[in-house]
Structure formats: C-alpha cells, structure tokens
Amino acid sequence: MSIWSYANPVKFLALSAKLQPYLWAAAAFCICTGLIWGFFGTPDDFRQGSTVKIIYLHVPSALMAINAWFMMLLTSLIWLVRRHHVSALAAKAAAPVGLVMTLIALITGAIWGQPMWGTWWAWDPRLTSFLILFLFYLGYIALWEAVEDPDTAADLTSVLCLVGSVFAVMSRYAVQFWNQGLHQGTSVPMATGGRTVSDVFFVPLMISMVGFGLLFVALVLYRTGTEIRLRRAQALRSRQEREL
C-alpha cells in the first residue's frame, strides 16, 4: 500500500485518530520533563545567570518555527503536483502553529535580550530573518482567510509559500549583508551554532526539543482533522441546499 493512500481523508482521519493519543501523551511528557527539569533542575550559567533557563523554550520554538515552514513548503508542493486535499489542508493547519512558535521564539528572545544585550531588540541577522518569517506567516494565513473558494485558496497559498520561501532565503542573505556592512556588532552568542551549551543544559534541552516536535505533530494532525471536517460539512451543506 502506498503512502499516498493516506491522502484519502477517511484513511487519514482513521490513522490520525489512532496515533493521536500516543502523540499527545508523549508530547506532554517530554515538554513537562524538559521544562521542569530545565527550570528546577539545572544550575545557573556563570555568565548569564538564571536567564539561561529561557533556552528550553527559546531554542525548541525557534526550531519548530522553521520546521513548520519547511513542512508547509513540502505539503504545498504535494498539493500542487498531486492535488491531494489533505496535503493542502495540512499546510493550512500548520500555519497558525508555526506563527505561534515564531512568536514564542521572538518573545523569549526579546525577554532574554534585555538582560544579556541590554536591549529588547537588535537588528541582528538571525532576529531579523525571524521577523520576516513572522510576516510571511501572517500573509499566508491572511491569504487563506481571504479567498473564498477552498481549492483556489489552496492553489494560491501554495504558490505564495513557494515564492515566499525563495524570497525568505534571499532576505536572509540580504540581511546578513546589510548588517555586517554596517559593522554594527552585537555579538550574538547563538551565532556560532553547534554544541555551545554544556551537557548539564543539553539533556533537558534535547528533551524539550523532542517535546515541541511531538506537540507540533499532534497539533497539526488534530487541526488537519478539523479542517477536513469543516470542509466536508461545508460541501454537504451546499449539497443539501442544492437538492432542495
């Protein structure tokens, strides 16, 4: 049986109903463990003090914000090529989740920035590209809302997602160029990447990251189911009216 058979709404609903309890439980477990361990069970950083605890929210949400966009890109492509409705609806369902993740990353980052850099916000390349990502999410959701015909909306938002991704990459380079060009150096501790955090922080961080990932999957499955039901209800209703 090919994986595409799950593009059928009924099969999809059945499978996702089976998976969801485990997903929700696992997500809740990981997030609680990660955050509680992180919040109560890790020492303060010698330089950053207790603010280092923010990392357990900041990094997972930032990661999921980007991954949500990748997932939308993928499902948009699938919709454009194979026209499976579930795929388009999954993209629709993921967007608000991505938006909230972006917002969490931005807010925790901003709160962290105040004690560390002495400012809520700096026009650092990574921060700036996140802001742009936030804008893309907003536009994408607004377009879904604005187009009345559901298939047309799926088409248009998919193309927006593709074109938007290209421009997001371009913006990323533009922003890097722009800020280096000004030699405006807020040195960002996160810019180095890789394992800059020591093991004490690393394990709970990993757990929290896995938790956010599971939460994302569970949310998207649930929300896709909702979208499918709404779509079906709408179709049935127009049906009935036309029968009369």
Residues near ligand HEM, by CB under 6 A: 55, 58-59, 62-63, 105-106, 109-110, 112-113, 116, 126-127, 130, 189-190, 193, 196-197
Q: Which of residues 40-79 bind another protein (CB under 8 A)?
A: 40, 44, 49-51, 53-54, 57-58, 61
Question: Residue 81 or residue 159: which is nearer to another protein going by CB?
Answer: 159
Return the residue of 29, 73, 155, 213 that touches another protein, per CB under 8 A. Answer: 155
Nearer to another protein, 53 or 210 (CB): 53
87-90 contacts at long range (C-beta below 8 A, 24 or more positions apart): 87/7, 88/154, 88/157, 88/158, 89/154, 89/224, 89/227, 89/228, 89/231, 90/220, 90/224
138 counts as binding another protein under rule CB under 8 A? yes
Residue 151 within binding range of another protein, rule CB under 8 A: yes
Of 65-73, 150-158, 188-196, 197-205, the segment contacting another protein by CB under 8 A is 150-158
Spatial contact of 95 and 79, defined as CB atoms under 8 Å apart: no
- Dihedral angle at the C-alpha atoms of 38, 42, 45, 49, nearest 10 degrees? 70
Q: Give the shortest CB-146-to-ligand HEM separation in angstroms.
A: 27
Q: Which does 180 bind (CB under 5 to 8 A by kind): ligand HEM, another protein, none?
A: none
Helix 125-146 × helix 85-117 angle, to 10°: 150
Closer to another protein by CB, 100 or 206: give it: 100
Burial grade of 143 (CB within 10 A; 0-12, 13-18, 19 or more): middle
Least distance from C-beta 70 to another protein, angstroms?
18
DSSP SS3 for 172: helix
Based on CB atoms, which residue is closest to ligand HEM, 4 or 70?
Answer: 70
Q: Which is nearer to another protein, 204 or 223 (CB)?
A: 223
Give the burial class of 197: count Cβ atoms within 10 A of its Cβ; 0-12 exposed, 13-18 middle, 19 or more buried. middle
Which of 17, 25, 114, 191 forms a contact with another protein (CB under 8 A)?
Answer: 114
Residue 180 within binding range of another protein, rule CB under 8 A: no
Q: Are 81 and 229 in contact (CB under 8 A)?
A: no
CA–CA distance, 125 with 168 (Å, rounded to integer): 12
